[in-house]
Copies of this chain bind each other. A is one copy, B any other.
Amino acid sequence: MLFCVEMTVKIPLDSDPVKMDEIKRAEKERAIDLQKAGKWPHLWRVTGKYSNISIFDVESNNELHDLLMSLPLFPYMDIKVTALSQHPSSIH
């Protein structure tokens, strides 16, 4: 089941850079794991912004919520979730 998730990262300018680098490292690691697990089939950077547009493939809303909550950058993100369905004109 697919969801489009838009994540905008807002890191306070006075954050501790060392701490943030560690969180970003963990975020990247987590993102790669989820992509390899097939849960996060698409991850694109929005040109010009510290945001991404992603597609998640999950079994349920609960699973999606738990995955997003598990992202180290979750507390720093505005997240918009849009449920997706099969489009009648899609060849996939």
Q: Which residues of A contact B (CB under 8 A)?
A: 1-5, 12-15, 27-28, 31-32, 35-36, 42-49, 52-53, 55, 60-62, 64-66, 68, 75-76, 79-92
Contacts and interface: CB of A to CB of B under 8 A. Distances in A.
Contacts of A44: 2, 4, 55, 84-87, 90
12 contacts: A3-B83, A5-B48, A12-B13, A13-B75, A43-B90, A43-B92, A45-B65, A45-B90, A47-B61, A48-B79, A64-B85, A81-B83
Name A's interface SS: mixed
A87 to B, nearest CB: 4
Given A53-B4, A83-B83, A48 B64 contact: yes
Given A47-B64, A61-B83, 4 more contacts: A12-B13, A32-B89, A43-B92, A66-B85
